[in-house]
Amino acid sequence: MSTSEMELSDSGGPAALKGFVYQNFVAAYYALRMLEDKNLLSVRCEAVDDVDAIYTDKVEYIQVKTTDKDSKWNVSEFADADTKSVPPTGQQRKNQTVSKEDSILHKSILCDKGKLPSYFRIVTPRDVTDSLRYLKTSLNTRNEKADLKAPLLKRLCSSVERNRPKKSAPFTSPNGNGVEYWLDHAEWEVIPLQEVLESRCTKLIRQAAQRKGIYLIENGDPERILCSLLNNLFKKGAASRVLKSTDDKSYLREDFIPWFESEIEHYAHLNNEHVKIYTTDSARLQAVLSVFFQDSDIYKEEKYDGRKECTGLQGEYHRRKYCYDLIARNLYKWFHEVLLLPNEIADNAPDKITDKFKLLTRRYKREANFINNLVAKALLHSTVRTTYKSQPIAANLHVDDSNSTCFDNIHILLNDHEPDNLVMGFSRIINKVDDLSIASIVTEFSNLLESEAFSVQKEKVLIAKKDNYLLDHDIDDILSSSSSLDKNIDRFRFVFFIGYESDHLSCNAKELVDGYEKHLKSELKMKFKSLVDKMISEDDYFEDLNVEVYLYPIPSLNSLVSEIKSQVELKWTTA
């Protein structure tokens, strides 16, 4: 939460906004656009131009002009430079009138000095005359107004060159671009009132919060967040260009997104009027198992295109006893996400509680016939959710073959700065991880990725996911039938969860041999390599896949499953 937060009253935010000037609101508007445009990397204040918007492929230099004249902007006011008188030189006998090259247009052209292509924007409360009307047309539709370009270009060139030395080269930017380049890359935006900018900003705040599953109080929370942002931008704009670096005068995307999310979370907790079906709050995401080993460099020397990562998971000992009961209690808390659909979780009406309990019980009873599968699925679900704060999709991606194999975990991994990813995983709890079981797992996985089956069946996820209950994402394009795995391979993560009995563990910690952890880690690496090597030996295409393997060694699978059954019986009537 920003230290500049306004007093928490309904009027505190709106009243304080009156103290900020038009230019601050323009900067705030562009900063807030980072919330919906991943290509917008940073917003600078008073660095090169009034506001600089830095994109992945361009820079937009924004001049904000708020002069108090009643008349509309014309070419002369915009492009004519001031002049100065200089003493005569050579054969001249009179003082010469020379352009200071300081008009708004001159200054805008001079901003073009970076490596990225330059674009320009003029933002004013006052409208423009017909002579400048061409600039109000969006660059995307300029071709429809092409007849207006030539006369405006001629007038702008005349103004820019007026009173410059006759034999000098045309006025250009440090990058060598002149008036026509500026005209082809510039737009003029008229926003008549500061209140319009304020409204645009608060709308972006509300929309971004809603995409995160948070509903802010109208006429209060969005305005207070905007006040905090404006104050931060004011400080950046006021920072000395000499004493401070460019970063000091910039709002970087990687800093702004976490700041904004902390702001909306703060007000969400205050208001308690938001709905999060699949929370991303770390305090509420309780892991069932902990990580004791992780290695993503095992295949470093192979230089595969796809990332291969091994993670070892473990339970805890308490008073020398392996904590099956603790694992069971924590896993029980995840069953509602695994067994209920999003709309069923969201429906918390008092009159539906009994029905929901019955539904949860009925689903568990159906799954209890395959309890090992349910436990494995729930353990993978909880691991992915706590590791990545993912958004799960309540659907199994079934492949219509005789074996009925399926991905039993599908999650969306939200990325602030890159396209979102899709986790597709399946899980197993088996007594022994040997060549036979590894071959079976690899065969199932290979069947899942058969091109025709995968392309057709992944559409089921597109249909099954309920966007109303998920945070905003951009994965629809990779799930369409026309989108191939090869084209989007970097956006998929294939995850395996394998729980197995290990000879290096015992139900009683007193029976563990010295150095068992070292042996356990070696065992994990060996089993991980056996799995990945088997995949690649079957098909070198798997070298390109991003593969994460979670291995969970345990003293006794029967003890774990028995404890989970007991835990459920304590909570539910399953008979």
Q: Are 187 and 134 in contact (CB under 8 A)?
A: no
Query: Does the pLDDT value for residue 8 go beyond 80?
Result: no
Return d(Cα 451, Cα 293) in angstroms, integer: 34
Q: Are 114 and 132 in contact (CB under 8 A)?
A: no
Is residue 329 assigned to a domain? yes
Distance of CA 405 to the CA centre of its chain: 32
Backbone angles phi, psi at 120, to 5 degrees: -135, 145
Same domain as 306, residue 254: no
Last residue of a domain, one of 237, 271, 305: 271
Is residue 455 assigned to a domain? yes
Return d(Cα 459, Cα 477) in angstroms, integer: 11
Is residue 536 assigned to a domain? yes
Nearest to 499 by CA among 445, 441, 428: 428
Is residue 317 assigned to a domain? yes
Which of 75-79, 120-124, 209-213, 494-498 has the weakest average pLDDT?
209-213
Query: Does the pLDDT value for residue 272 go beyond 60?
Result: no
Q: What is the pLDDT of residue 252?
A: 93
Same domain as 259, residue 358: no
Arithmetic mean of pLDDT, 445-462: 79
Return d(Cα 349, Cα 328) in angstroms, integer: 28
Is residue 4 assigned to a domain? no
In our burial notation (b when 16+ CB lie closer than 10 A, e otherwise), range 160-197 reads bbebeeeeeeebbbeeebbbebbbebbbbeebeebeeb
Q: What predicted TM-score, i.e. pTM, was given to this entire model?
A: 0.69
Is residue 328 assigned to a domain? yes
Q: What is the pLDDT of residue 575?
A: 44
Same domain as 294, residue 236: no
Is residue 1 assigned to a domain? no
Using pLDDT thresholds of 50, 70 and 90, give the confidence band for residue 275: low
Return d(Cα 465, Cα 462) in angstroms, integer: 6
Same domain as 86, residue 152: yes
Same domain as 311, residue 290: yes
Which H or E element spans position 292? strand 290-295
Distance of CA 154 to the CA centre of its chain: 45
Arithmetic mean of pLDDT, 530-537: 96
Arithmetic mean of pLDDT, 207-216: 87
Nearest to 72 by CA among 197, 192, 200: 192
Nearest to 194 by CA among 17, 4, 15: 17
Q: What is the pLDDT of residue 574?
A: 45
Q: What is the pLDDT of residue 69?
A: 84
Coil vs helix vs strand at 417: coil
Is residue 5 assigned to a domain? no
Same domain as 78, residue 33: yes
Distance of CA 192 to the CA centre of its chain: 33
User: Each residue of 510-525: pLDDT tens digit?
Assistant: 999 999 999 999 999 9
Last residue of a domain, one of 271, 300, 322: 271
Nearest to 408 by CA among 453, 376, 377, 430: 377
Categorise residue 291: left if φ over 0, alpha if ψ from -120 to 50, beta otherwise: beta
Using pLDDT thresholds of 50, 70 and 90, give the confidence band for residue 90: low
Q: Are 323 and 559 in contact (CB under 8 A)?
A: no
| Per-position DSSP letters for 15-47, written without gaps between them | HHHTTS-HHHHHHHHHHHHTTT-TTEEEEEESS
Same domain as 211, residue 300: no
Same domain as 365, residue 501: yes
Return d(Cα 239, Cα 536) in angstroms, integer: 55
Q: Which domain holds residue 457?
A: 282-571
Using pLDDT thresholds of 50, 70 and 90, give the confidence band for residue 274: very low
Last residue of a domain, one of 246, 271, 296: 271
Same domain as 319, residue 208: no
Arithmetic mean of pLDDT, 448-456: 76
Q: Are 328 and 566 in contact (CB under 8 A)?
A: yes
Return d(Cα 303, Cα 561) in angstroms, integer: 40
Q: Are 147 and 83 in contact (CB under 8 A)?
A: no
User: Each residue of 325-369: pLDDT tens digit?
Assistant: 999 999 999 998 998 888 788 776 666 777 878 888 888 888 877
Same domain as 89, residue 129: yes
Mean pLDDT over all residues of the chain?
87
- Which tokens sit at 97? 């009138």
Same domain as 320, residue 255: no
Return d(Cα 176, Cα 475) in angstroms, integer: 41
Q: What is the pLDDT of residue 435?
A: 94
Q: How many domains does the chain have?
A: 2
By DSSP bridging, strand 250-252 and strand 317-318 are unpaired
Q: By percentage, how much of the chain surpasses pLDDT 90? A: 62
For the chain, what is the largest distance between any 2 Cα atoms, rounded to a whole number of angstroms? 111
| Per-position DSSP letters for 54-83, written without gaps between them | EESS-EEEEEE-----SSPB-HHHHHPPPE
In our burial notation (b when 16+ CB lie closer than 10 A, e otherwise), range 287-305 reads ebbeeebebeeebeeeebe
Return d(Cα 210, Cα 345) in angstroms, integer: 18
Return d(Cα 498, Cα 432) in angstroms, integer: 10
Same domain as 540, residue 433: yes
Q: What is the pLDDT of residue 395?
A: 67
